[in-house]
Structure formats: C-alpha cells, structure tokens
Amino acid sequence: MLSLILPPDLDALRIILDEDPEFLLDAAAMVNCLGTCRLCERRFVPVAPFVESLEPLYGDSRRLHALLRHNQYISLSEALCGFCHADPGLLNMFQKMKKL
C-alpha cells in the first residue's frame, strides 16, 4: 500500500505512479511530516502525524499504523528515528542526555 522510500530514478518513479497514482499523496504526506532525530540528526517520519494525515485517504488508521510501525525510516517516537529508537545503546544514551 505504501512505499516510503522514493525510487532511485525517475523511470522507476513513473512506473510506480502508473500503477498507483496516489503514491504521490503518500510521498507528499511523508514530506509534510518529516522530523529530525535528536540523536543522529537523520530525517525521519514520526508515525502518529503521518497516520493522521493519511487516514482520510485510507480510512483504517489501525491497519495503517500496524503497516508502518516496522519501517526504520519512520518511528513511533516523535524525537528519535527508527534506527536510534531500535538501538538500546543509543536509546539509553538519549535518556541520559535528556537528564542533563
């Protein structure tokens, strides 16, 4: 249903858009929801605002949330990307930094 990582070239993007024109809406929603990870400064998409912005298109927010939650380029956290959120060492470091 969603492909969060944009294809590497325009030809691949055209093929995706031919098959699913609404992919462009997914990409626009993703760009509008971008955040920056407080640890690694990687750009990522927090799940909650992304699901909220796509819910009118897809209707089933629970299914959409379940589909998205395991993608590392999005995160359940509003402050940490999926890469850092999934790494206990980085998460521990982040929690220590917040106490300072």
Domains of the chain by residue range: 10-99
Q: What is the Cα–Cα distance from 95 to 44, expressed in whole angstroms? A: 19
Mean pLDDT by 10 residues, the chain (100 residues): 61 85 79 88 88 81 82 85 85 74
Q: Considering only CA atoms, which of 43, 32, 54 is closest in space to residue 80?
A: 43
> In sequence order, what are the beta bridge partners of 75?
46
pTM of the entire structure? 0.66
